[in-house]
Amino acid sequence: MSEARLRLSLRHFGRTAFLVTAAAVVAMFLWVSDGLVRDLSRQERERMQVWADATREMVRVLSDDSGAAAIDVDFLLGIIESNTTIPVLLTDDAGNILQHRNFRLPEQCDSPAPMDLTPANELFLQRKLAHLSGGHNVIDFEIAPGIRQHLYYEDSTMLKRLSYYPYVQLIVMLVFIAVVYFAVLSTKKAEQNKVWVGLSKETAHQLGTPISSLMAWMELLPDMGVDPDTMTELNKDVQRLSSIASRFSKIGSRPQMETTDLRTVIDGAAGYMATRVSGRISLAARTGSEPLPVLACAPLFEWVMENLIKNAVDAMSGTGSITVTAGRAAGRAYIEVADTGKGIPRKNFKAVFSPGFTTKKRGWGLGLTLARRIVEQYHDGRIYVKCSTPGVGTTFRIDLPLAQ
C-alpha cells in the first residue's frame, strides 16, 4: 500500500472510530436513562399495590367492631393520603368511579368523592378512565368475597419527564456530536486551504525566477545561430511554464471571473493535449454550435480540462479514445470527459477526489483534488464521476451555471 493510500485509510479509520465512539457513548446514556425509567416505573407500581392493599384493609377494619379498628384506620388513611404525586382512579366492577386523586380537573374540586363532581369534571374523569382502561397501569383487588375494585393510575409527573429525558438527551447528544464533527472538519478544511494557498504562492514564486531567466536566454539564442523552428518550440514551452506559474498564483487567491464561452476553453485544452498524447490515442472534442457562456477563469479551467484528459490518458494502456462533450441541460452547462480506460470501482467514485489518492506508481494524487477545488469553490459548479465500468471506461462530468 502506498503512503498516500495509507494516510487516506488512516483518515477514514479515525473518522469511523470517532463516530463509533460517539454512538457508543449515546447508547450508554440511553441505556442508563432507560434503566432509571424502568426502576421508577416499578417503584410506582409497588406504591400503587400498597395503596390498593391499604384500601382493601381499610374496608376490612371498618367492618371490624374491635377497639383496634380506629388505630388501624388512622394508619391506613396515612398510607392513602401519602400519595400526592400519582394520579389515581378507583372504580368498581361496573366501571363506576368511587374515588380520584391528584388529577388536574377542569374545575377546582377539593373532594375526591365522585358525588361532588361538576359535569365538566365528571366528563374529564370518564375520559381519563377510558384512556387508562386500555393500558397496563391497573391493579385489580378483591375487598370482599365476590366484590372487586380496580385501581387505575397514571405515571407521575416525574416519571413522565424522565421518560422523555432519553429522547431529549439523544437529540442534545446528536447535535453536540454533529457540531464537534463539523467543527473539526471545518478547522481541518481551513488548515488545508492555508496549505493550498501557501504551496501555490510559493510554487508561483519559485517558478518566476527560472522563467525570467529562460525568457532572457530566448532573446540571446537567435544570435547564437539557433534555427527559427527550434526557437518557436522553445518559446511555446516557456510560455507554457509562464502559464503554469500564473495558474498557481491564481489558485492561491480568489481569481477574477469573466464571461467566457466554455467551448473556447475546451477546444484550447483539447488542442494542446492532442499534440502531447500518443498517436494511438484518439482525442475528440464535441462542443456543438451553441455558445456556452459561463463566469470562469479561463487559465484555471483549462487546467481542469488538462487534468481530466491526462487522467484519461493514464487510465489507458497506450491506446484507446477520449471524447470531450459539452452542451446544455436543465439550464446549466455541462462537460463530459469519457475514456475507454480501465475504469474506477464504484467504492472509489468519491475517494478519487481526496488528496493523496492515486492508483499510479508515481504521482501526488492532487490533480483531481485541484480540479474539484477550482470547479466547486471558484466556479460554483460540481465535478463527479458520472459512470464507470472496470475494463470498459470512465466518464467524468462537470456542471456549471450559465452566465446571465
Homologous superfamily of domain range 254-401: Histidine kinase-like ATPase, C-terminal domain (3.30.565.10)
The whole-angstrom separation of Cα 26 and Cα 5 is 32
| Residue 122 in grid coordinates | 365528571
Measured distance CA(359)–CA(354) in Å, rounded? 12
Render 53-112 in DSSP notation, one character per residue: HHHHHHHHHHT--STTHHHHHHHHHHHHHT--SS-EEEEETT--EEEEES---SS-----
Closest to 169 in 3D by CA, of 42, 24, 27, 35 = 27
For the segment 106-130, the average pLDDT, to the nearest whole number, is: 75
pLDDT of residue 4: 47
Rounded average pLDDT over 227-255: 77
Tally the residues of the chain: 404
Asked if residue 69 has pLDDT above 70, the reply is no
Angle at CA of residue 230, ends 227 and 233, nearest 5°? 150
Please answer whether residues 123 and 109 qualify as being in contact, where contact means their C-beta atoms are separated by less than 8 angstroms.
Answer: no
pLDDT of residue 309: 93
Q: Are 254 and 361 in contact (CB under 8 A)?
A: no
pLDDT above 90: residue 189: no
Cα distances (Å, whole numbers) of residue 395 to 283, 302, 341, 343: 14, 18, 10, 9
d(CA 144, CA 138): 19
Average pLDDT value for residue range 39-48: 80
Angle at 347 between CA 342 and CA 352, to 5 degrees: 65
What band does 152 get if pLDDT is binned at 50, 70 and 90? confident
What mean pLDDT comes out for the span 280-306? 91
Question: Residues 141-149: contacts with CB within 8 Å, 24+ apart?
Answer: 141/52, 141/53, 141/55, 141/56, 142/56, 143/55, 143/56, 143/59, 143/60, 144/59, 147/92, 147/93, 148/92, 148/93, 149/52, 149/55, 149/56, 149/90, 149/91, 149/92, 149/93, 149/98
Lowest mean pLDDT, pick from 194-208, 295-309, 339-353: 194-208
pLDDT for 66 equals 53
Tell me if 342 sits within 8 A of 359, measured CB to CB: no
Alpha carbons 348 and 362: distance in angstroms, whole number: 19
Higher-scoring residue by pLDDT: 199, 122: 122
Q: At residue 266, does pLDDT exceed 50? A: yes
Using CA atoms, how far apart are residues 155 and 47, in angstroms rounded to an integer? 12
DSSP letter, residue 287: -
Mean pLDDT (whole number) for 163-172: 79
CA–chain centroid gap for 224, Å, is 64
State the span(s) of the chain assigned CATH 3.30.565.10: 254-401
**Tally of CB atoms within 10 A around 335:** 27
The pLDDT of residue 153 is 82
pLDDT number for residue 324: 95
Give bridge partners of residue 293 from the DSSP assignment: 261
